[in-house]
Amino acid sequence: MSKLFSPTTLRGLTLRNRTVVAPMCQYSAQDGFANDWHFVHLGRFALGGFGLVMLEATGVVPEGRISYGDLGLWKDEQIAPLERIVTFLHSQGAAAGIQLAHAGRKASTSIAWRNGFDETEEEKAALHFESWTPVAPSALIHAEDKGFTRPEALDEAGIRNIIDAFVAATKRADRAGFDTVEIHAAHGYLLNQFLSPLANKRTDRYGGSRENRMRLLLEVTEAVRAVWPEDKPLLVRLSVSDWHNEGWQVEDSVALTRELKARGVDAIDASSGGFEGAVIPAAADYQVPFATAIRNEGGLPCMAVGLLGDAHRAEDIIANGEADFIALARGALDDPNWPVHARHELGASDYDLWPKQTNRVRERDRSLRQRSFAAS
């Protein structure tokens, strides 16, 4: 039996297989509200057979969004459209997760496909355009001349407010029916900024030593775990390495993972990068060694992500103990049906993972003598 397509359990959640849709920002919300785009975008992955579908980085406060087009969960009115998505994902056999985030100094940026802030006044009104001054551990801009805004340094009251915002958003995520939440501490966003000496130049108890730089993420984790139901798993996304000689390193992430495990985290989503000056040798499977290090040395189940997609290699990653889950983002955009296709490629002869409404695919395959009918 395929390891990739075997069920697995985290706390009280059993996933039908080990394939995951990684969070992908869509920059298509207004005032943080999910809409029909999000419903269709996410729903197709459940139809395609993924075990867990993760929603994009969702701001716990308005100023925590990467852009004005990001999802949010800072007010109760945002629950209902998310609940609609969760209900559909569940109806198709997929679990639903949401990534809770604060972008820190990488907030208030332009929509990815626009030429900077080039909205007309009419578009600004229609799109609910907003811009603001971001916050960060230190008043250091992420990058000059690239559309970022110099942030204001958070004081301890501001830090406390952010912890409270993660807690409030977590409670709303539970009310929306999500099976898991993921704390976003990667990609150069706020919690990652506190971790990395590249962005954190503080001299108080939230800066300086590695222990101090880890403090905010650990406090957020403790607070979130305290209000998240005991039977639901808690995930954390880490940039395991900054890919920078003066930044956060793999050994730092291993030490951090042990602390997260002690605070009730159930799995790590192992990514990397997020700061200027990084030298990233991107290639197929390039982040898998990070997942393996976290899994074997940090002691938590781990999700591999980043330019994956070859079915046989994905199977080997799980079978060899290099990671516990395979997460696709751009690969899922390219092929929302990747799990059902990969399962056939790995030798499945049945069509059980396909939705019953798509049983005509089986009849097509029979007519064309392909997949399980190739030798008949």
Q: Is residue 2 part of a domain?
A: no
Domain that holds residue 367: 352-376
Task: Count how many Cα atoms sit within 13 Å of the Cα of residue 288 in the half-sphere of its side chain.
Answer: 21
268 with 178, same domain: the answer is yes
165 with 260, same domain: the answer is yes
Q: Residue written as tokens 């696709």?
A: 328
262 with 361, same domain: the answer is no
For residue 33, what are the CA distances in angstroms to 78, 122, 187, 315? 6, 20, 23, 37
Q: Is residue 298 part of a domain?
A: yes
DSSP string covering 43-102: HHHHHTT-SEEEEEEEESSGGGSSSTTSEE-SSGGGHHHHHHHHHHHHHTT-EEEEEEE-
Residue 376's pLDDT is 58
188 with 308, same domain: the answer is yes
3-state secondary structure of 33: strand
Q: Which helix (H) or strand (E) holds 25?
A: none
Q: Is residue 375 part of a domain?
A: yes
CB-based contact 231:177 (threshold 8 Å): no
Instruction: Look up the CATH number of the domain holding residue 134.
Output: 3.20.20.70
Residue 3's pLDDT is 97
DSSP string covering 199-256: T----STTSSSHHHHHHHHHHHHHHHHHHS-TTS-EEEEEES--SSTTS--HHHHHHH
58 with 161, same domain: the answer is yes
Q: Is residue 1 part of a domain?
A: no
189 catalytic, yes or no?
A: yes
Angle (deg, nearest 10), helices 156-175 and 79-91: 50
Angle value at C-alpha 136, between 107 and 155, nearest 5 degrees: 135
Radius of gyration of the chain (CA): 21
222 with 356, same domain: the answer is no
The Cα 47–Cα 265 span in angstroms is 29
Query: Quick one: which of 132, 134, 130, 84 has its CA closest to 105?
Result: 134
298 with 375, same domain: the answer is no
53 with 175, same domain: the answer is yes
Residue partners of 62: CB distance under 8 A and separation at least 6: 32, 72, 74, 130, 132
Give the bridge partners for 97, in sequence order: 54, 180
Residue 372's pLDDT is 82
Q: Number of folded domains in the chain?
A: 2
Q: Is residue 158 part of a domain?
A: yes
The Cα 343–Cα 41 span in angstroms is 22
268 with 370, same domain: the answer is no
216 with 162, same domain: the answer is yes
Q: Is residue 374 part of a domain?
A: yes
Instruction: Give the pairing of strands 13-15 and 8-10.
Output: antiparallel
The Cα 120–Cα 297 span in angstroms is 52
> Which of 189, 206, 286, 351 is an active site residue?
189
368 with 287, same domain: the answer is no
195 with 333, same domain: the answer is yes
Q: Is residue 3 part of a domain?
A: no
Query: Quick one: which of 327, 34, 324, 313 has its CA closest to 172?
Result: 34
Q: Taking the chain (376 residues) in consecutive chunks of 10 residues, what is each chunk's mean pLDDT?
A: 96 98 97 98 98 98 98 98 98 98 97 91 93 97 93 98 98 98 98 98 98 98 98 98 97 98 98 95 95 97 96 98 98 98 95 93 91 80
